[in-house]
Amino acid sequence: MGIVYQTDKRSGITYAYENQSFWDPELKRSKSKRKLIGRVDPETQEIIPTDGRCKKRSPSYEAGSDDYEMPKTMKGLKDEVRRLLKENQELREQLEKYKS
């Protein structure tokens, strides 16, 4: 087991992964699995824990007032769709009012 560093070419961010090698008897070759540990700070070279999916999981994340929380149930999704359709209709009406 070791730590592997990999740089994302698109963003230039370096990530640290825990590397676990194992023998695959079916393919008769060595394989490895990687688990993301976190981002590497470019200045201090410290590994900052993250899950790699979004900033909400990062320990340095601070919630803002405009953050959206996705509904967790089907009923919640239906209610959200209804609310958005109503809001959309109201905005269309306002737009028509401003056009005339």
The pLDDT value recorded for residue 1 is: 74
Q: Check if the beta carbon of residue 50 is closer than 8 Å to that of residue 36.
A: yes
pTM score above 0.85? no
| Each residue's pLDDT tens digit, 47-64 | 888 876 655 555 566 666
The pLDDT value recorded for residue 80 is: 87
Report the alpha-carbon angle 33-61-18, nearest 5.
15
Would you kindly state where each structural domain of the chain is located, as residue ranges? 1-52, 69-100
Task: Check whether 19 has a pLDDT greater than 70.
Answer: yes
| Each residue's pLDDT tens digit, 35-94 | 988 889 888 989 888 876 655 555 566 666 666 666 678 888 888 899 999 999 999 999
